[in-house]
């Protein structure tokens, strides 16, 4: 199965928040392909840097990146899909969330998240594993 982790899922795993064991199970299953949208690298790095201002954040991020099968760049196709998803959501979908969701949809991945904004995306538009 192919999964794409939203930044919220990645952070939940890092911070060992509730449901982080479920994320670990996905990572441990060699049959799974785990993707990450490129914008999540920036989001995660900024959050870790705020938690660890001692300068070790980049090394921590680099170590984590090895867990992912691929980092998906945000291209024109994904940007267009992000707009289409935003237009079909009943509530506002922030830009970065729409790009991450569109990356999952474009790559046929299940979006794994702990984000209420993502939960507003209709199930018929995107497969999701909500950890909220």
Q: Render pLDDT for 83-98 as a digit per residue (tens, 0 to 9).
A: 999 999 999 999 999 9
Rounded CA-CA distance 41/32 in Å is 20
pLDDT of residue 60: 80
Q: Which letter does DSSP use for residue 56 in this model? A: T
Q: How confident is the model at residue 58 (pLDDT cuts 50, 70, 90)?
A: confident
| Number of domains into which the chain is organized | 1
Give the pLDDT mean for 107-112. 98
Angle at 38 between CA 90 and CA 29, to 5 degrees: 90
pLDDT of residue 56: 76
- The DSSP-derived string for 78-115 is HHHHHHHHHHH-SS---HHHHHHHHHHHHTTPEEEE--
The domain that contains 16 carries what CATH number? 3.40.50.1010
Question: pTM for the complete prediction?
Answer: 0.93
Print the domain residue range for 83.
Answer: 2-130
Structure confidence by residue, pLDDT tens digits, 16-32: 998 899 999 999 999 99
More confident residue, 58 or 82: 82
pLDDT of residue 109: 98
């Amino acid at each position: 199965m192919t999964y794409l982790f939203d930044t919220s899922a990645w952070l939940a795993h890092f911070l060992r928040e509730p449901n982080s064991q479920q994320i670990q199970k996905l990572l441990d299953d060699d049959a799974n392909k785990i993707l990450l949208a490129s914008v999540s690298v920036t989001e995660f790095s900024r959050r870790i840097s705020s938690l660890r201002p001692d300068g070790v954040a980049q090394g921590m991020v680099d170590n984590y990146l090895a867990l992912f099968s691929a980092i998906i760049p945000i291209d024109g196709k994904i940007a267009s899909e992000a707009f289409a998803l935003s237009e079909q959501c009943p509530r506002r979908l922030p830009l970065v969330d729409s790009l991450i969701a569109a990356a999952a949809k474009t790559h046929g991945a299940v979006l794994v998240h702990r984000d209420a904004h993502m939960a507003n995306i209709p199930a018929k538009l995107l497969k999701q594993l909500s950890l909220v």
